[in-house]
């Protein structure tokens, strides 16, 4: 990977919040909550990462699981952890309560991004999104629906509902990580039963192929086996860089990997390195 292989000027506001704070604002007449982390002393953040939790979790849970605050501190970007209604997202599959209630999570998260970009003087071309499981489904949907907002996406253990169209308005760089032994979100797609119920999803490879198509990638992906971490998995990275200018599509296949934020690669550091090199 361009940026991942190595591991596995903006307006400064006059007042800054504490490095981490829970906050709330109303969207669509519904109170929505989130937690935002700002590295101490940083006055010109290097970007904004939206980090989305899985079903049954909260933004705070995702912060603890992914250790993204430490990556934020190391690289000077703002990270926000929104909370989904009923601990889930309206990602389009129709399996969650937010989906069935018609909640506009694409609108909510986009509005939250607009607020934070304004509050912290973040360059609009340096807005990114990652997420786990249901959060990964939502991250992919955001990239499909609001490619004008998100320069790059890094879904972990999640694809898209088979019923969710993906016709982005412009290319989006993608770093997709998925385990072949995932018992919740099947590597091969098809029927899936999650917290909210049943849905039908596209396979991990089909999603990557779709992003390659969207980004106009012309090359055969370069393949690299990443260093063994002794956890019983084998991790292979597939990198396409002959894509639309400034974009890349990278997939990380964890053979034997399950439904988790992976240990075989440092998914948090790797995603930021990818984001940092694929801004607009």
| pLDDT tens, position by position, 106-128 | 999 999 999 999 999 999 999 99
| Per-residue pLDDT tens digits for 17-59 | 444 578 999 999 999 999 999 999 998 999 999 999 999 999 9
Average of per-residue pLDDT across 3-12: 34
CA distances from 105 to 50, 88, 94, 135, 139 (A): 13, 10, 13, 11, 11
Q: Quick one: tokens of 11?
A: 């307006």
For residue 11, pLDDT beyond 60 = no
**Is the per-residue pLDDT at 200 higher than 60?**
yes
Q: Is the pLDDT of residue 209 over 70?
A: yes
The two three-digit tokens of residue 28, written as one number = 């669509």
- Asked if 213 and 240 touch (Cβ cutoff 8 Å), the reply is no
Q: Reply yes or no on whether the pLDDT at 8 is more than 90.
A: no
Q: Evaluate the omega torsion of the peptide bond into residue 8 and state whether it is cis, within 30 degrees of 0.
A: yes
- Collapsing DSSP to helix, strand or coil, 63 comes out as helix
Residues with Cβ within 8 Å of 9's Cβ and at least 6 positions away in sequence, in order, are: 44, 123
pLDDT at 263: 64
Q: What is the pLDDT of residue 197?
A: 86
Pairing of strands 222-225, 234-240: antiparallel
Q: In what order do the strands lie in the sheet with 152-156?
A: 20-27, 30-37, 78-82, 48-52, 127-132, 152-156, 173-179, 249-255, 234-240, 222-225
Model confidence at 1: pLDDT above 80: no
CA distance 40 to 18: 8
Residue 155: pLDDT band by 50, 70, 90 thresholds? Answer: very high
Q: How many Å apart are CA 11 and CA 55, to the nearest integer?
A: 36
From the candidate CATH numbers 3.40.30.10, 3.40.640.10, 3.40.50.1820, 3.40.50.80, the one assigned to the domain spanning 20-276: 3.40.50.1820
Where are the chain's structural domains? Answer: 20-276
The stretch 172-188 carries a mean pLDDT of 97
Residue 250: strand pairing partners? 175, 239
Question: Per-residue confidence at 80, pLDDT binned at 50, 70, 90?
Answer: very high
Distances from the Cα of 144 to the Cα of 40, 160, 211, 241, angstroms: 33, 10, 9, 20
pLDDT attached to residue 260: 92
Per-residue pLDDT at 6 exceeds 90: no
* pLDDT value of position 262: 79
- C-alpha Rg value of the chain to the nearest Å: 17
Half-sphere exposure of 228 (CA within 13 A, CB side): 6
Burial 146-182 (b: 16+ CB within 10 A, else e): bbebbbbbbbbbbbbbbebebebeebbbbbbbbbbeb
Give the separation between CA 116 and CA 35, rounded to whole angstroms.
Answer: 12
């Amino acid at each position: 990977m361009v940026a991942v292989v190595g591991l596995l000027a903006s307006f400064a506001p006059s007042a800054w919040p504490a490095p981490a704070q829970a906050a709330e604002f109303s969207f669509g007449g519904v109170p929505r909550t989130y937690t935002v982390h700002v590295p101490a002393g940083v006055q010109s953040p290097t970007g904004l990462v939206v980090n989305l939790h899985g079903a049954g979790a909260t933004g705070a849970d995702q912060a603890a699981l992914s250790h993204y605050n430490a990556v934020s501190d190391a690289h000077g970007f703002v990270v926000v952890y929104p909370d989904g209604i009923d601990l889930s997202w309206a990602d389009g599959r129709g399996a969650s309560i937010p989906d069935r209630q018609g909640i506009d999570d694409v609108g909510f998260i986009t509005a939250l991004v607009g607020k934070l970009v304004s509050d912290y003087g973040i360059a609009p071309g340096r807005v990114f999104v990652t997420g786990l499981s249901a959060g990964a489904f939502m991250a992919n949907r955001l990239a499909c629906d609001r490619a004008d907002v998100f320069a790059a996406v890094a879904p972990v253990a999640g694809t898209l509902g088979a019923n969710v169209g993906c016709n982005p308005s412009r290319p989006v760089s993608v770093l997709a990580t998925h385990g072949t032994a995932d018992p919740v979100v099947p590597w091969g797609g098809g029927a899936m039963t999650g917290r909210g119920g049943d849905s039908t999803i596209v396979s991990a490879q089909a999603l990557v192929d779709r992003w390659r198509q969207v980004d106009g990638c012309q090359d055969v992906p370069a393949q690299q086996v990443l260093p063994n971490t002794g956890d019983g998995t084998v991790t292979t990275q597939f990198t396409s860089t002959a894509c639309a200018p400034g974009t890349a599509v990278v997939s990380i296949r964890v053979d034997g990997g399950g439904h988790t934020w992976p240990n075989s690669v440092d998914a948090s550091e790797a995603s930021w390195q990818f984001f940092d090199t694929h801004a607009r």
